[in-house]
Amino acid sequence: MKQKQVLVIEDDAAIRRGVVDALEFAGYRVLEAGDGRQGLVLALKGSYDLLLLDLVLPGTDGLEILRQLRASRPTVPVIILTARGDETDRVKGLKLGADDYVVKPFSVKELLARAEAVLRRSPERPSDVQTLKLRDGHADLARREVQFKDGTRHELSQREAELLRYLAANPGRAVSREEILSRVWGIEPTGVETRTIDMHIVRLREKIHDDPAEPRVILTVRGLGYMLAQGGSGR
């Protein structure tokens, strides 16, 4: 089994050392950063399976790191490390797409248990998808445009690109509207109208030339949500 790698962004040297030691003892490889600027670079460019992210950081704060990470790598699992009184920031982090949080001071056993649980919920999912192959062209998700062999181009909105990237990161898996709201929109799905997702799917199908009557790329899973067909491959 491939050894998992964890990125720890925490400015308190003692807490960071304790977390790193615990993770390495548990068999993880670890990257670490002690400030927001270095952390942002590693979060966006580094190779890792899970991010442990402190919210209060010098340079660039944790919420901004999470915001930029979700825009470019929406499927990376994130656990927030938060102080006991920071409920407002904790809620903001969850709305931005964090998977879980641990309140300081925390036990090593609790942190490792939450890390294992989050990694189990996101098995083998790619951290980033930049390009999606289509039958007669491709979608460039970094540049937010669809290009066809006949020279036709369609621009994608940021939300359309994020939605297509998330589906492309989970090919062949039915993704519920509630999961899309949580992971792409960054909002809690409870009681929220999900029709906006359906409208985005309609526009996406039009832009990638996916026949809405018989879609072959973005499939509707009745009663649940949507799925990218296995034939559509991301890289």
Q: Is residue 12 scored above 60 in pLDDT?
A: yes
C-alpha radius of gyration, the chain, whole number: 19
Domains of the chain: 5-121 (3.40.50.2300), 131-228 (1.10.10.10)
- Comparing 137 with 92, which gets the higher pLDDT? 137
Residue 218 pLDDT class (50, 70, 90 cuts): very high
Residue 209 pLDDT class (50, 70, 90 cuts): very high
CA distance 108 to 114: 10
Residue located via tokens 């548990």? 26
Q: Among the listed ranges 36-45, 67-76, 144-153, 186-195, which one has the minimum average pLDDT value?
A: 186-195
- Comparing 222 with 51, which gets the higher pLDDT? 51
Closest to 144 in 3D by CA, of 128, 162, 126 = 162
- Residues 103-127: pLDDT tens digits? 888 999 999 999 998 888 764 444 4
pLDDT of 10 reads 96
Predicted TM-score of the model (pTM) = 0.57
Residue 139 is classified by DSSP as: E
3-state secondary structure of 146: strand
pLDDT of 155 reads 93
Q: What is the percent of the chain with per-residue pLDDT over 90, rounded to a whole number?
A: 46
Q: Among the listed ranges 2-6, 31-35, 50-54, 225-229, which one has the minimum average pLDDT value?
A: 2-6
CA distance 165 to 200: 13
- Residues 150-177: pLDDT tens digits? 999 999 988 898 899 889 888 888 888 8
Closest to 126 in 3D by CA, of 73, 164, 175 = 73
Closest to 130 in 3D by CA, of 104, 165, 178, 100 = 165
Mean pLDDT, residues 79-85: 83
CA distance 44 to 16: 20
Residue 234 pLDDT class (50, 70, 90 cuts): very low
Q: Is residue 91 scored above 50 in pLDDT?
A: yes
pLDDT of 181 reads 81
Q: Is residue 200 scored above 80 in pLDDT?
A: yes
CB 195 within 8 A of CB 147: no
CA distance 115 to 53: 12
β-strand pairing of 5-9 with 50-54 = parallel
β-strand pairing of 100-104 with 131-134 = unpaired
Residue 199 pLDDT class (50, 70, 90 cuts): very high
Half-sphere exposure of 47 (CA within 13 A, CB side): 3
